[in-house]
Amino acid sequence: MLARLIYTLLLFLVSPVLLWVLYRKHPNKPAISHRWKEYWGFTPALCGNHPLWIHAVSVGEVIAISPLIRELKRQEPSISILLTTTTTTGAEQAKRLGDLVEHRYMPIDFSHCVKRFVLKMQPKAMVIVETELWPNTLHTVSKARIPITVINARLSENSAKGYRKIKPLFDIISHSVNQILCLHTDDAKRFIGLGVDERKVSISGSIKYDLIISPDVIVAGSTLRSSLGLNRPVWIAASTHKGEDEQMLSIHRNIADEHPDALLILVPRHPERFNDVEANCKQQGFITARRSNNQAVDKHTQVYLGDTMGELLIMLQCADITVIGGSLIGDKVGGHNLLEPAALGKPSLIGPSYFNFTDITRQLATAGATKICDDKSDISATLLQLFSDKQKCNEMSKAALSVVNANRGAINYTIKHILKSMN
């Protein structure tokens, strides 16, 4: 009780900053607009009754959960699904699910906000994607006798160390949750090591392995590649963060020395950075085109800025090789998921920092589908090698698809446990 009181006080102190981040308007970022009250639990009524409540914080989590939602609705068409996100970009991605779900913004983690939301929504069960664990939310939902399942759960060693420092708060979380479906054995061991009842913990594998690539994505990616140039080397730097764009441009300058017609598709992780990244590209002398403006691309174009939402798969499809961002700026981010390029059969490279996706990265690296690079020089040298070695690229492509196909099945396992929690 004391731990939660202290936490709530601290949250109260930092909430103005949190709300400013959520509410502020920014170019290329969807605005919260009239829906700002939803963060306080004041939310419109649903069309369906007693929904399954799924929380996916932002774009990546919504993309990850989408195949499960489609399969769940196929198996149980009568289920009403409430999908909450924290970010407006996540809300934009949720629109792509159409009438499969009803979207609302997740209330801020104050008990009175969550209680107001729960009373209005009347969910039958709650599912949390990955490890978005808010103490007051979980306590309030559990107190309302709503079962809580965490799926695709991962817990890095660094995160486990952090939770040990606030053990009383983590105990509130662990006692509130009914079941935790982990990605890997290591994740399960860490949860149990923190005191979670081992009967609550199981290993599902990652639902991200069950990613189904729509034929429309393949067609759109192939069409885009035709417009960019079929016979030129094309690589993509996906989900880059501040401090990485400059490194990717430096790498591309080295690539262009040997392949003057090479094209870099640069996709920043956060839409509010699009304009700054474009300015940086042009300041460094690169001929740059933006996808959102439908700017013409010819043989002289050097950088293609992927500044649209929900089209990463299309841009991955049209590239020859993928470099994953969030991995070249020390331990600030810990990398991003390699499974999307893997499901498309794309050779991939990642920098030395990938602690958020350790198991998946090592699995793909062991299979020869990806290479873990030491720094930007290593990435540059590897890209040049792969552009000159089509056989190696093909071997990496086959290895990527093999890993993905061998690990499918998590969606059905997860659906089975979710439906069980609702009975």
pLDDT digits (tens, 9 = 90+) for 297-338: 999 999 999 999 889 999 999 999 999 999 999 888 999 989
The answer to whether residue 15 scores a pLDDT higher than 90 is no
- Written as one letter, the residue type at 3 is A
Find out whether 209 and 414 touch, Cβ atoms under 8 Å. no
| pLDDT for residue 402 | 96
pLDDT tens-digit series, residues 342-373 = 999 999 999 999 988 888 899 999 999 999 99
**Is the CATH number 3.40.50.2000 carried by domain 215-406?**
yes
The answer to whether residue 137 scores a pLDDT higher than 90 is yes
Look at residue 295 and give its three-state secondary structure. coil
| pLDDT for residue 60 | 82
Residue boundaries of the structural domains of the chain: 30-206+408-422, 215-406
Instruction: List the alpha helices (DSSP H) in 76-214.
Output: 88-94, 111-121, 135-143, 157-165, 167-176, 185-193
**Residue among 192, 170, 125, 160 nearest 417 (CA):** 125
Fold entry, domain 30-206+408-422:
Rossmann fold (3.40.50)
Q: Tell me which DSSP letter residue 57 carries.
A: -
Look at residue 240 and give its three-state secondary structure. strand
The pair phi, psi for residue 310, each rounded to 5°, is 75, 15
Give the whole-angstrom CA distance, residue 46 versus residue 48: 5
Continuous segment of H or E residues that includes residue 387: helix 376-387
Asked if the domains 30-206+408-422 and 215-406 are classified in one and the same CATH topology, the answer is yes
The answer to whether residue 29 scores a pLDDT higher than 80 is no
The answer to whether residue 124 scores a pLDDT higher than 90 is yes
Sign of CA pseudo-dihedral 265, 271, 277, 282: positive
For 130: left if phi > 0, alpha if psi spans -120 to 50, otherwise beta; the answer is left
Average pLDDT over residues 255-268: 97
Per the annotation, the verdict on 61 as an active-site residue is: yes
Average pLDDT over residues 142-155: 94
Average pLDDT over residues 136-141: 95
| Catalytically annotated residue among 61, 130, 244, 278 | 61
| pLDDT for residue 28 | 66
Q: Which residue has the tokens 């890209």?
A: 383
Q: Average the pLDDT over each of 12-16, 70-74, 92-96, 277-281 and give the range with the smallest value.
A: 12-16
CA dist list (Å): 146 to 73, 81, 128, 167:
21, 15, 13, 24
Give the whole-angstrom CA distance, residue 83 versus residue 144: 19
